[in-house]
């Protein structure tokens, strides 16, 4: 009996050892496959097979949400797409009846990666015509749900299979749209965003032919701008369109440029075998200029590629030399702005340089074009913006104690405004101001905040952290420009990537040849430090003093009485919110 027991124990131990060896050999085999892939980059399906099988098939039942109601508000009606990090569902808001796309990322996917995800923390403050709008983020015990605007159209992947290959002029339009998105993402503050997964299935083509970049589930922030390479895990990437360095475990903004160029070649060639994709197959089929542009995007060496998306956009503009460009400040776009496109703009100045005229003019310009606009006056000391509108704003912002959120005054069907009569005391804290701005963002397409010079720093910085664009208004007097570094120094970290308006512009030769941006770069501020502010764009609004006086007399914005101011404000307005008007 004892002998039998010993034999049985021996057999059990042997079987256990065989299972351990077998498990180890499978793990070693998987590791060898991955190492072979990164060394030779041969199997384009390996990551899909090794990772997606583990992370998706194993949890297939968890992904089956059709017919369920999420967060008590969104009923799942179908599946829009599926990827290595989760699924995208088509959902209907049961209260409003409108459709939304909801990206579900299971907990096990978030836990098994060391990517620094940007989607949750960053996308909710992104606003771009070629990006979806994030409206809600919630979680349960299964994972994270990200609610974004439902883009009506067709994925570029599906469109390519049905209609490809595409003509050069068609692909160029999409290339411009997507390059513009990369410029926006790579310029984000405080940290650039690397998209990380450019491919046809992540691009939606709208009914009017515009390209919208969706699914940011593997995007990340480049926290250290001084790092040339940013190391990460290959989890979630699509190998077919990934840059060479991405397959070796690191990437930076130039990786997005490679993937975009590769995808464009794919759309032009229509090759199903992606290993044959490249510029060689395009010779004689597309223009020489586009060929050179794509060849530079696809350089294996990072340092030989376009170093920034802005450089790529500049070359794209040269392709259209002599033709209107959709990204030009002064051109009329060829696409229709989506109804869910939003912009939040702060207009500011430390001196009396006409920011009120600019704020009122912009708001009026958008409203005239049928764009729902809310103008918020936070200049609680001067309270002079209401002089441009024929309404008595008494108690619009005043006497709002107990945390009560005030209601804006309606100027016309498209324009509403928060302001106050000069004799009414206003005492609103940062939290109330923030709530006004966030609520306005829901109710309007464009929100313009006239930043008061008397605002305390906490409120000032809170507003700047919320907005999409910062517009600094100055005039052409050099002494005003010279004073700005000292006046703006305390809020310098919140003013990065600011646009400049030179208001009351009279002498076209006065500032010609001057380096305007130089007034904001490397300036020693007495006993404070060095002032360094990046100015993106510079605009000019011409002087028309008689029109301003007429406007104040009639209590209407100066753009109503001045052709010059109207033209300049319109150019500024088109830059922030493109329209066909």
577 Cβ partners below 8 Å, 6+ apart? 337, 341, 343, 366, 371, 445, 446
Q: CA-CA distances (angstroms) from residue 559 to 377, 390, 472, 549, 568? A: 18, 15, 19, 12, 9
Contact assessment for residue 474 and residue 501, using Cβ atoms and an 8 Å cutoff: yes
As a whole number of angstroms, the distance between CA 138 and CA 147 comes to 8
Residues in the chain: 581
| DSSP per-residue codes, 45-70 | THHIIIIIHHHTGGGHHHH--TT-EE
482 contact partners, CB below 8 Å, separation of at least 6: 519
> Contact, 539 vs 568, CB < 8 A?
yes
The strand ranges marked E within 295-425 are 343-348, 373-377, 409-410, 415-418
103: preceding bond cis by omega (within 30 degrees): no
Q: Residue 441, annotated ligand binder?
A: no
Element (H, E) at 536: strand 535-542
Are the CB atoms for 69 and 112 separated by under 8 Å? no
User: Cα 4 to chain center, whole Å?
Assistant: 72
Nearest to 44 by CA among 271, 298, 307, 294: 271
3-state SS, one letter per residue, for 445-490: CEEEEECCCCCCHHHHHHHHHHCCEEEEEEECCHHHHHHHHHHHHH
Q: How far apart are CA 388 and CA 548, in angstroms?
A: 10
Report, in angstroms and rounded to the nearest whole number, the Rg of the chain calculated over CA atoms: 28
Relative to beta strand 415-418, strand 86-93 is unpaired
Question: Strand pairing partners for 239?
Answer: none
Q: Which two tokens stand for residue 22?
A: 């077998």
Both tokens of residue 460?
């000032």
Q: How far is CA 301 from the centre of its chain?
A: 27
Q: Which residues are annotated as a binding site?
A: 103
Q: Which residues are annotated as a binding site for ATP?
A: 103
């Amino acid at each position: 009996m004892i002998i039998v027991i010993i034999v049985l124990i021996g057999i059990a131990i042997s079987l256990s050892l065989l299972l351990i060896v077998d498990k180890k050999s499978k793990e070693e085999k998987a590791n060898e496959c991955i190492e072979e892939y990164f060394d030779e980059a041969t199997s384009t399906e390996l990551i899909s097979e090794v990772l997606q099988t583990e992370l998706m098939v194993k949890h297939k039942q968890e992904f089956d949400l059709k017919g369920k109601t999420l967060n008590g508000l969104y009923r799942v009606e179908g599946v829009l797409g599926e990827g290595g990090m989760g699924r995208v569902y088509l959902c209907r808001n049961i209260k409003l009846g409108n459709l939304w796309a909801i990206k579900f990322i299971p907990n096990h996917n978030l836990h098994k990666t060391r990517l620094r995800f940007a989607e949750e923390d960053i996308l909710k403050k992104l606003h771009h015509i070629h990006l979806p709008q994030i409206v809600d983020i919630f979680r349960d015990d299964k994972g994270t749900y990200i609610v974004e605007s439902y883009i009506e159209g067709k994925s570029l992947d599906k469109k390519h299979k049905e209609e490809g290959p595409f003509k050069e002029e068609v692909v160029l339009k999409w290339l411009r749209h997507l390059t513009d998105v990369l410029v926006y993402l790579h310029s984000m503050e405080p940290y650039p965003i690397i998209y990380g997964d450019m491919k046809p299935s992540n691009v939606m083509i709208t009914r009017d032919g515009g390209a919208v970049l969706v699914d940011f589930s593997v995007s990340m922030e480049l926290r250290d701008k001084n790092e040339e390479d940013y190391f990460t895990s290959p989890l979630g990437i699509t190998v077919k369109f990934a840059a060479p360095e991405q397959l070796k475990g690191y990437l930076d903004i130039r990786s997005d440029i490679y993937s975009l160029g590769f995808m464009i070649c794919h759309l032009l060639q229509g090759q199903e075998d992606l290993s044959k994709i490249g510029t060689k197959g395009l010779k004689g089929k597309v223009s020489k200029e586009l060929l050179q542009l794509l060849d530079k995007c696809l350089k294996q060496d990072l340092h030989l590629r376009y170093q920034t998306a802005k450089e790529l956009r500049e070359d794209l503009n040269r392709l259209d030399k002599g033709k209107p460009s959709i990204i030009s400040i002064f051109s009329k776009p060829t696409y229709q702005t989506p109804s869910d496109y939003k912009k939040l703009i702060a207009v500011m100045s430390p001196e009396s340089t006409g920011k009120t005229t600019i704020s009122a003019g912009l708001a009026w310009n958008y409203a005239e074009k049928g764009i729902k606009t809310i103008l918020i006056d936070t200049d609680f000391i001067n309270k002079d913006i209401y002089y441009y509108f024929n309404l008595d704003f008494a108690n619009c912002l005043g006497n709002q104690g107990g945390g009560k959120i005030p209601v804006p005054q309606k100027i016309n069907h498209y324009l509403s405004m928060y302001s106050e009569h000069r004799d009414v005391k206003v005492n609103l804290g940062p939290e109330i101001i923030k709530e006004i701005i966030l609520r306005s963002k829901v109710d309007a397409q464009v929100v313009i905040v006239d930043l008061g010079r008397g605002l305390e720093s906490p409120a000032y910085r809170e507003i700047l952290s919320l907005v999409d664009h910062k517009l600094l208004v100055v005039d052409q007097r050099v002494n005003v420009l010279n004073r700005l570094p000292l006046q703006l120094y305390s809020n310098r970290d919140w003013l990065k990537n600011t646009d400049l308006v030179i208001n009351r512009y009279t002498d076209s030769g006065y500032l010609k040849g001057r380096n305007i941006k130089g007034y904001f770069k490397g300036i020693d501020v007495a006993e404070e430090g060095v002032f360094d502010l990046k100015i993106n764009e510079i605009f000019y609004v011409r002087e028309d003093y008689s029109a301003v006086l007429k406007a104040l007399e009639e209590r209407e914005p100066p753009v109503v009485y001045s052709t010059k101011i109207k033209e300049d404000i319109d150019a500024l307005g088109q830059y922030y919110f493109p329209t066909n008007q």
